[in-house]
Amino acid sequence: MFPRFDIPLKSEREPELLSSDWAEVIDAYEKDNYKVSLYYLLKYLSKKSVSGLKPKKDIDVEIQHTNILLSIKINDEGFSVQAPFLKITNNTNIVALLRKISEINFDPLNLSQIILDGNLLYFAYACPLELCEPKKILNIIREICFQGDYYSPKLQESYQAEYFVSPIKKTLSVKEKGTTLTTIRRIFEDYDKCMQFFEKERLSEYHWDIIVITLLKLETMSYLNGTLRSDLYDMLGLMYSDNEMNFRVDRGIAFIKELKAKDEEELISCMYHSYIFCTRLKVIDQEKLTEILEQNSERFEKSKKEDRYLALTYDIYERLLHLISLYNVDDKTKNKIYADLREIKSDTDWEDAADNLYQTYQYLRKGKQNRNFNFWIYIIIIVYIIRYVIKMFFDTGA
C-alpha cells in the first residue's frame, strides 16, 4: 500500500540559479572588486533586478519579493538593505506584536534585524564593502526573504498588522484550481488508506513516513501560500526534530486532520503564484547531491538485503521528496524524481516498488540524469572529426 504522486503544476516560484553565474560573483570578490561582485550577486538571483545597471557604478534599487520591498544600496560606503514588510494600524495589537518581533530578532534571525520606524516594520542590515563576502550577503538576502515570507501572513493574521505592499500575485486558472483541489483530495485519500492499512497490519512504525510524505507532497506545491505554507514549514520542522517519536506522530496526525477539515474556499484563497526574488532553497550540484545520497546508502543496502521492500520504498520516497524540499535541484533531476515517483501506484507490488525507487536512487547518485547531454556532445564531436578527416583525405588526394 503506497501513496500516489501527482506532478505539481509548473511554477516559476523557484528560479534556476546557475553555478556559472555564481563563478562571476566569486571571481570579482577575490579580485577585491566588491561593487562588481555584489552586482553579479544580484544578477545571479534575478537578471531583471540589474536591468539598466552597470557593474562598477553605485546601485540603488528596489526589488519586490512577495509582499516585501527590498531597498538595496551599494556604494563606496558599503552595502545596505532595508526591507519593509508590515505596517502597524489602529487595529494592531501593538504590544503583543512588538513582543513577538523581539523574539524573532533573537531567534531565528542571525545578522539582519527587524526595526520599528514610526508605524513601519522592516528588515535591515548594513556593512562595509570589504566585509561583503558573497555567501554571507546571499544568506542575509535569503534570510530576509524567507523569514519575511514565513512571518508576514502569521503576524498579519494574528496581530492585525497590514502588508507594506500587496504581494504580486498570479492567480490560478479555474482549471488549475480544480486540478489542485483534486490532487489534495487524492493526497488525503491515500493518507487515510495507508494509515488504515498500517493499523490493520500493526505497522505503526510507518505512521511517521506517511505523515511526512503527505506534508512534503503538499509542500512541493509552491503555489500554496499564506499561513498554509507557514504552517506546513512549522509541522515539517517538528516532524524532523529531535522530539519523541510518538509526540511528533500525534501532532502530525492532528495537523493533517485540521487540513482535511478546511473547506475548498479556504484552500483556494491560498492558491496563487507569487513573484520570488530570492528562493529559500539552496543550490546543489552533482557532487553535493551524491554526498547527500551516500549518507543513506548503508541503510538502503541493509533494507534491500533483508528484503524489507515496504521499508525501502517508503524510505527512498521520503528521502527524494525531502531533497526537493530543501534544494533547488536542476530540472533534469527534479523531473526524474517526479516521473519515477509517479510510477508508484497504490497497488504496486512491494518488491517492484522497492526495486524501481532503488534504481532511481542509484541513477541520481551516479549523476546519470546529467549524462545524456554529454553523450550527444561526444557524438557530434566524433561526427565533426570524421567529416574533417574525410575532407582532409579528399583534399590531399586532389
pLDDT digit string (tens) for 323-359?
999 998 888 899 999 999 999 998 899 999 999 999 9
For residue 166, pLDDT beyond 90:
no
Give the distance, in angstroms, between the CA of residue 386 and the centroid of all CA atoms in the same chain: 45
- Residue 18: predicted pLDDT: 67
Taking a C-beta distance cutoff of 8 angstroms, is the pair 159, 100 a contact?
Answer: yes
Place 396 in a pLDDT band, splitting at 50, 70 and 90.
low
Region 100-117: mean pLDDT is 96
Look at residues 267, 280, 263 and name the one whose alpha carbon lies nearest to residue 176.
267
Mind giving me the DSSP string for 46-58? -GGGGTT--TTS-
**pLDDT tens-digit readout, 45-73:** 998 888 899 888 999 999 999 899 999 99
**pLDDT tens-digit readout, 200-233:** 999 999 999 999 999 999 999 999 999 999 999 9
For residue 390, pLDDT beyond 80:
no
- Residue 381: predicted pLDDT: 65
Place 392 in a pLDDT band, splitting at 50, 70 and 90.
low
Place 376 in a pLDDT band, splitting at 50, 70 and 90.
low
Place 274 in a pLDDT band, splitting at 50, 70 and 90.
confident
For 57-82, b where at least 16 C-beta lie within 10 A, e where not — what string? eebeeebbbbbbbbebebeeebbebb
Residue 55 burial by Cβ neighbours in a 10 Å radius (0-12, 13-18, 19+)? middle
Residue that wins the pLDDT comparison between 372 and 72: 72
Place 37 in a pLDDT band, splitting at 50, 70 and 90.
very high
- Residue 163: predicted pLDDT: 93
Please state which of the ranges 124-138, 322-336, 378-392 shows the lowest mean pLDDT.
378-392
Place 377 in a pLDDT band, splitting at 50, 70 and 90.
low
- Residue 20: predicted pLDDT: 72
Taking a C-beta distance cutoff of 8 angstroms, is the pair 214, 256 a contact?
Answer: yes
Rg of the chain over Cα atoms, rounded to whole angstroms, equals: 25
For residue 146, pLDDT beyond 90:
yes
For residue 246, pLDDT beyond 70:
yes
**pLDDT tens-digit readout, 282-303:** 888 889 999 999 998 899 999 9
CA distance 105 to 124: 11
Region 357-369: mean pLDDT is 90
Please state which of the ranges 14-18, 125-129, 184-188 shows the lowest mean pLDDT.
14-18
Region 18-39: mean pLDDT is 91
Please state which of the ranges 12-16, 19-23, 50-54, 73-77 shows the lowest mean pLDDT.
12-16
- Residue 1: predicted pLDDT: 82
Q: Spell out the alpha helix ranges (H) of 221-330.
A: 226-239, 245-261, 264-268, 286-294, 297-305, 309-326
The four Cα atoms 387, 388, 390, 391 give a dihedral, to 10 degrees, of: 110
Q: 24 is written with which cell numbers?
A: 562571476
Residue that wins the pLDDT comparison between 1 and 152: 152
Number of residues that this document lists for the chain:
398
